[in-house]
Amino acid sequence: MLKLALAGNPNCGKTTLFNALTGSTAYVGNWPGVTVEKREGKYKKLGETVDIVDLPGIYSLSPYSPEEVVSRNFLLDEKPDVIINIIDATNLERNLYLTTQILETDIPVVIALNMMDEVERMGDKVDAQLLSRKLNVPVVEISALKGKNIHELMKAAKAAAGSKREAYTVLEKSELAPIAEKAAKLLSESDISDPLFHAVKLIEGDELEVKAHKEAAKEVAELKEGHTSELFGDDFEAFVADARYRYITEELSCAVTKAERKEKLTRSDKIDKVLTSRIWGIPIFIAMMFLIFHVTFAEDFLYLNALYGVQVQGWEQWWEPGSYVIDGGIPSPGVLLQSCLVWCTDSLSALAASGLANAPAWVSSLICDGVLAGVFSVLSFLPQIALLFLFLSILEDSGYMARVAFIMDRIFRKFGLSGKSFLPLLMGFGCSVPAIMASRTLEHDQERRMTIYMTPWFSCTAKMPIYTAIAAAVFVGNDDLVVFGMYLLGIVCAILGALLLRNTLFRGQTAPFIMELPAYHLPQAKSLFIHLWDKVKKYVIRAATIIAASTIVIWFVSNFNWSYHMVDSIEDSIVHDLGSVISWVFYPLGFAIGEYGWVFVVAALTGLIAKEEVVSTMTVLGIAIGALGAEAGETTAIEALFTVSGITTPAVIAFMAFNLLAIPCFAAVGAARAELGKGRSFKGALLWWTASAYIVSMMIYLIGSFWWTAFIFAVIIAAAVTLIVLWNKGKLKLPGKKQKKA
């Protein structure tokens, strides 16, 4: 079967092309050993099925980022039949830089000249035939967005497969040509494929190549000995990079004819002027974030009820019971969708209950109180999660996310991070797992580690149900404020935590920040929905598998005693004993105190399996308790739980804070382990999350309950900060003194 690889810069339309080619056959996995996303799919319209691998978006085949190394290894080791190099025709110069490196391999190459419609719209021209002649490879003009010419592209690729292409390097005309030639000859004599590629990398002094080809590296080093150029001295990396760009501007730029611009500013420029404006840039960003949260979570949309008393009558009959819609105001789209779903799942539950009326008690209990209650309570948050993801993808695809990094970098640098780590951190609002994986794009090891440590505190959508469910039960009418407050708490903790780490364990240089700001694009519905569908699917699968399974376990331990007999009262159950045994550990956090304190302890612990579990545990246990208490009836299980347990407000907040900050779900821990390795930094992360969650929740509870404890904490914190500052200053002074003596 034919195997094609798609290679190109970020933002060149590569993903759009991949989606257009492969459609529903796409499969997202990981590159072996690293957590860079690997997308594979099939193209079926050529008569034979063709395998397509989408390489990560890269600017170069240098050895500095995992994406580049992965792409390089794939091209060299797995040998695709053809490389399809996608080039953004509106930005030929920089895009061709990667092409000059790809052409150094022996693999047949077809160039896809993308965004030709954009070029035409601006009145410019790009001569594809001229490019094809100069580069000696087929060039096909396409528009990935409109699906134009992509079948022709695949036909050209099929024709190129199996043909022989002579490797070409831009060094051919330079003074380094003899060295490249000799090195390539040497390598091909020892049966190494793509000799020219390796030879040029050896001249550059590429670390990976020098390690892989020790013999040849020695020879090349000897050849290089004594060779200095006027401009670059003995900096061969600079020489090669310059030769590439020189070749592009001198030989290839003639393919582009730019039209006279009537207007000085493009549309993208005009948008950018506002969005990154000195005065409005930051307020617009904050407003946008607030709007996204408001549209997703607010129960009084646009505050119409609070401000103008706009109310809708007659909701009640539709949304009761178990709905989170309060009386009165118009709910936001997110809440509205959620209510619809809750209505559907409630109907299903009622149907199941009546269908199982004659079944044995344990069967109907297992299905209704266990599986359905748990899974449905998790599923009910799907609309809001999907909306949030949709908004984040729109920001990402439109090019605004990169601007956010640009705007925020100054702030993040203070904490040893860069504006770039803002992207993974912001994704943390969606899900910690992809967010932790996205930290791969950070080149600097220290920045990556710190980002991973902070990511779970950017409260993920699975933690959101904890706040909304609790807010609906305890802080009626202030739901969006409570949710916003918890998100804010997470961010504040992340900032303080980063500052603390930066001044203690993670001192040293900050990471470089050199990135492209892509032109603004209208996000494309198709790719938005492919992305969204992927997330929704994963969430539903998780609800149906791991969450359903653990719900059954929790149902079992809460309905049975140690001799496996079903119990009438939860106080005789296994879970009661388990929770009681360890709940003393959580006494300082407040929520473990009291007759039903163990319920919250168990809920927080099951949150380690998946954060969605916290809500489903509280629901399952709440039903059991609601059966005990007289408060049951009209209220939801969680409401009953909070009323019956008599938990205090500071303890409720401490409980939410603990869930926010503690070790994230198993999946996220797995991702963190993949990124950090098994060693000290991974164990450190677990300790970091646990300790911070415990301390912060304790402070919230104690200060909330006994205000004077604030002074004690203030003194402790002040002492710690003074110590750290003194220690850092002391460290700085010592070498200074020595220098003076010398």
Question: Nearest distance from residue 422's CB to other proteins, in Å?
Answer: 13
Alpha helices in 588-634 (DSSP H): 597-606, 612-628
Name which of 231 and 742 has its Cβ closer to other proteins. 231
Instruction: Kindly state the tokens that stand for 675.
Output: 């990124």
Name which of 209 and 443 has its Cβ closer to other proteins. 443
Question: Nearest distance from residue 426's CB to other proteins, in Å?
Answer: 17
For 16, the enclosing helix (H) or strand (E) is: helix 14-22
Rg of the chain, C-alpha, whole Å: 30
Name which of 97 and 168 has its Cβ closer to other proteins. 97
Question: Nearest distance from residue 329's CB to other proteins, in Å?
Answer: 35
| Cα(699)–Cα(704) distance, integer angstroms | 8
Question: Nearest distance from residue 36's CB to other proteins, in Å?
Answer: 18
Name which of 45 and 410 has its Cβ closer to other proteins. 410
- Which part of the chain contacts other proteins (CB under 8 A), choosing from 156-164, 366-374, 411-419, 445-453? 411-419
Q: Which of 106, 181, 242, 571 binds other proteins (CB under 8 A)?
A: 242
Would you count residue 62 as binding other proteins (CB under 8 A)?
yes
Q: Which of 20, 36, 70, 92 binds other proteins (CB under 8 A)?
A: 92
Per-residue DSSP letters for 544-575? Answer: IIIIHHHHHHHHHHHHB-TTS-B-SSGGGSHH
Which residues from 264-323 bind other proteins, rule CB under 8 A? Answer: 276-279, 281-282
Would you count residue 406 as binding other proteins (CB under 8 A)?
yes
Q: Which of 79, 413, 521, 538 binds other proteins (CB under 8 A)?
A: 413
Q: Which of 37, 125, 227, 245 binds other proteins (CB under 8 A)?
A: 245
Q: How many chain residues bind other proteins (CB under 8 A)?
A: 43
Name which of 97 and 556 has its Cβ closer to other proteins. 97
Would you count residue 64 as binding other proteins (CB under 8 A)?
yes
Distances (CA, A) of 127 to 86, 255, 468, 602: 16, 5, 57, 67
Question: Nearest distance from residue 560's CB to other proteins, in Å?
Answer: 59
- Which part of the chain contacts other proteins (CB under 8 A), choosing from 90-98, 373-381, 388-396, 681-689? 90-98
Q: Which of 1, 231, 357, 525 binds other proteins (CB under 8 A)?
A: 231
Q: Are the C-beta atoms of 443 and 64 separated by less than 8 Å? A: yes
Q: Hey, what amino acid is at 246?
A: R
- Which is it for strands 125-126 and 139-141: parallel, antiparallel or unpaired? unpaired
Name which of 61 and 144 has its Cβ closer to other proteins. 61
Name which of 277 and 545 has its Cβ closer to other proteins. 277
Would you count residue 442 as binding other proteins (CB under 8 A)?
no
Name which of 279 and 630 has its Cβ closer to other proteins. 279
Name which of 126 and 703 has its Cβ closer to other proteins. 126
Q: Are the C-beta atoms of 104 and 124 separated by less than 8 Å? A: no
Distances (CA, A) of 133 to 95, 136, 391: 18, 5, 44
Q: Are the C-beta atoms of 464 and 383 separated by less than 8 Å? A: no
Question: Nearest distance from residue 512's CB to other proteins, in Å?
Answer: 5
At 396, give phi and psi (nearest 5°).
-65, -50
Q: Hey, what amino acid is at 358?
A: N
Q: Are the C-beta atoms of 125 and 256 separated by less than 8 Å? A: yes
Question: Nearest distance from residue 300's CB to other proteins, in Å?
Answer: 32
Q: Rounded to the nearest 10 degrees, how much is the dihedral formed by the CA atoms of 723, 726, 728, 730? A: -130
Name which of 88 and 480 has its Cβ closer to other proteins. 88
- Which is it for strands 27-30 and 37-43: parallel, antiparallel or unpaired? antiparallel
Question: Nearest distance from residue 95's CB to other proteins, in Å?
Answer: 9
DSSP SS3 for 262: coil
| Cα(372)–Cα(346) distance, integer angstroms | 10
Tokens 């599923």 sit on residue: 379
- Which is it for strands 109-114 and 82-88: parallel, antiparallel or unpaired? parallel
Name which of 82 and 126 has its Cβ closer to other proteins. 126
DSSP SS3 for 143: strand
**Residues found near other proteins in the complex (CB under 8 A):** 59-60, 62, 64, 90-94, 97, 231, 237-238, 241-242, 245-246, 249, 276-279, 281-282, 402, 405-407, 409-411, 413, 419, 443, 510, 512-519
